[in-house]
Amino acid sequence: MNTLEIKNLHVSIDNKPILKGVDLVVNEKEVHALMGPNGNGKSTLLAAIMGHPKYEVTEGTVTLNGENVLEMEVNERAKAGLFLGMQYPQEINGVTISDFMKAALNTRSEKPIPLFTFIRSLDSAIKKLEMKSEMAHRYVNEGFSGGEKKRNEIMQMMLLKPKFAMLDEIDSGLDVDAIKVVAKVLNEQIESSNMGTLIVSHYDRFYQMVQPTHAHVLIDGKIVISGGRELATKVDEQGYDWLQNELGIEIKEEKTEVVRNAVGSLGTCAVKELSDVTQ
């Protein structure tokens, strides 16, 4: 059985502590809902597990089937079976979805994947997500709407078949029909490949379609309460305020806007360094 174990995880960014001791165990086939007010560490947890260079782990461990994930490079973590559906997926001009996925699949096997098999898998995934088949030949996320970018993340998950999928607000930017399609695909994959998932979302609407087996609330960098399905419903109905009284804690909600897209070319009369990413 596959197990992702996070123990006493402390993560900082620019020396500022964000996660202050997170403990979490996700087993295969389980669906963990991760909730909490904005700015309290949910995205940080997922990004730190995936290995985003901006985040510094100051204490604690993350293991996948007993293997130390924190010692692995980002690409090794992916090959070990971790997947992150990002909140702000990158646009990559010049690289088609097809080339990207083919390269990602080929790096996992000794022999290159037969072209016909690959095209069939890609087309099938695109169809299941009710996206246009031309999408395979478009540059990764370039000119995609928010909803298309999110569905593209799920499409990649379908092809790469990870052991654990971490989804960061995969439902934001999707209309009701798209959410239904994504939920259906997710449930099918959990069933067929025993995938474990860690889902960050605020909306009960999504949790109604992808039923969590476990739910956690992350406040100020720590999981303050865990429960089952009913916890997700309670948060949706009552928000997070009731936790202040019940647990005697103070809740701070941060509103931060981080722009992640680096513009490749601008309008007229200006030159910009592509290395300026965050504003």
| Torsion, Cα of 191, 73, 23, 15 (10° steps) | -140
Question: Please, what is the minimum distance in Å from the beta carbon of residue 267 to another protein?
Answer: 7
Nearest distance from residue 162's CB to another protein, in Å?
10
Residue 117 tokens read as: 């098999």
167 and 85 in contact (C-beta within 8 Å)?
yes
DSSP-based three-state secondary structure for 68: strand
Q: How far is the CB of 201 from another protein (least distance, A)?
A: 20
We find the least distance from the C-beta atom of residue 176 to another protein, in angstroms, to be 28
* 45/179 with CB nearer another protein: 45
Q: How far is the CB of 104 from another protein (least distance, A)?
A: 4
Between 74 and 247, CB nearer to another protein = 74
> Measured from the CB atom, is 247 or 263 closer to another protein?
263
Task: Tell me the closest approach of the beta carbon of residue 3 to another protein, in angstroms.
Answer: 21
Contact residues toward another protein (CB under 8 A) are 50-53, 73-75, 77-79, 83-84, 86, 89-90, 92-96, 99-100, 103-104, 107-108, 139, 156, 160, 260, 262-269, 271-275, 277
Nearest residue to 97 (alpha-carbon basis) of 122, 115, 120, 121: 122
> To which residue do tokens 């909306």 refer?
203
Q: How far is the CB of 180 from another protein (least distance, A)?
A: 26
> Considering beta carbons, is residue 114 or 248 the nearer one to another protein?
114
Count other Cβ atoms within 10 Å, centred on residue 10: 18
Nearer to another protein, 248 or 267 (CB): 267
CA distance linking residue 160 with residue 82, whole number of Å = 10
CA 94 to mean position of chain CA atoms: 24
Of 180 and 272, which has the nearer Cβ to another protein?
Answer: 272
Residue closer to another protein (CB basis): 37 or 196: 196
From the list 155, 160, 159, 191, the residue with the least C-alpha distance to 170 is 155
d(C-alpha 173, C-alpha 141), whole Å: 14
Listed residue (45, 91, 46) closest to 264, CA to CA:
91
Q: Are 37 and 252 in contact (CB under 8 A)?
A: yes
